[in-house]
Amino acid sequence: MADFRFDIIGEYFPLFMRGTLYTIGISLSGIILGSILGLAIGFGNLSKKWYLRLPMQGYIHFFRGTPLLLQIFIVHYGVVSNILGRTDAVVAAIVALALNAAAYTAEIYRAGIQSIDRGQSEAAKSLGMSHWQMMRYIILPQAIKRMIPAFGNEFIVLIKDSSLVAVIAAPELMYWAKGASSQYARVWEPYLTAALIYLTLTYSLNKLLIYLERKM
């Protein structure tokens, strides 16, 4: 540790910063797209109709039951390259993270909605509310509040998992940390710096979520 080379960090710092922007962008797009897709999957999963429920359950099982690293490779070399006719690491990274996050957020929606006491929906129905009115005015406002901590967790996990897309050479933070590490055959300087940046990202997000929770 005595010969900690700050010059390596200095040289790679602009790249780490650019990589951090990619990390934020990829994770943010992943969680937003994933939450939207997850909403559809979550509601499908809650449906009484089996032909809606079963495919959604299959989807959730697949994406929660296989390693994210594997999903990234499949999306990158299988899905995106076939649709675009060429590979694109950043697109593949966002798609893979969104698909993966959708499975987890779908379960968050389901758990949130099911956690609301049955008496609430019975009361809404006795007032003559339709199913969607009940969801909109009674169930969801309460459920969303309970979902926030779980969403925060998922977002934090996603930021950390986004480091996996370095294997398909998406130029995010981990990619540059690895680049610096292999160029100089050094471990501490690039990886500790990357760890510190990830920590800053997750810590600020955590603070933001606590603030949001208190506001709601």
Partner 1 sequence: MKKAFMLVLIASLAITLAACGAKKENEEGGAQSKVYVFATDASYPPMENMDKDDIVGFDIDFLAAVMEEAGLEYEVKNIGWDPLLIGVENGEFDGAISAMTITDERKQSYDFSPAYFESTNMILVPEGSEIKTALDLKGKKVAVQGGTTADTLMTDIMGVGDTSLKKFESNALALLELANNGVDAVVADSAVVKDYVKKNPDKKFTTILDTENFAPEYYGIAFPKDKELKALLDPAVKTVLASDKYKEMFEKWIGVEPDMTRLLDM
Nearer to partner 1, 108 or 164 (CB): 164
Would you give the binding string for partner 1 spanning residues 86-125, x where CB under 8 A is met?
xxxx------------------------------------
The length of the chain is 216
Q: Dihedrals φ, ψ of 42, to 5°?
A: -60, -45
Estimate the crossing angle of helix 173-184 against helix 6-46, to 10 degrees: 150
Q: List the one residue out of 100, 87, 85 whose CA is nearest residue 164.
A: 100
CA angle 56, 117, 121 (to 5 degrees): 80
124 within 8 A of 133, measured Cβ to Cβ: yes
| Shortest reach from residue 160's CB to partner 1, in Å | 19
**Residue 58 contacts partner 1 per CB under 8 A:** no
| Shortest reach from residue 169's CB to partner 1, in Å | 4
Q: Kindly identify the residues of this chain, within the stretch 138-167, that bind partner 1 according to CB under 8 A.
A: 167
> Could you tell me which stretch among 52-60, 82-90, 152-160, 197-205 binds partner 1 (CB under 8 A)?
82-90
Which one of residues 183, 192, 196, 199 is an interface residue with partner 1 (CB under 8 A)? 183
| Shortest reach from residue 179's CB to partner 1, in Å | 6
SS3 letters across 55-108: HHHHHHHHHHHCCHHHHHHHHHHHHHHHHHCCCCHHHHHHHHHHHHHHHHHHHH
| Shortest reach from residue 84's CB to partner 1, in Å | 9
Residues that bind partner 1 (CB under 8 A): 11, 14-15, 18, 77, 81, 85-89, 167-169, 171, 175, 178-179, 181-183, 185, 187
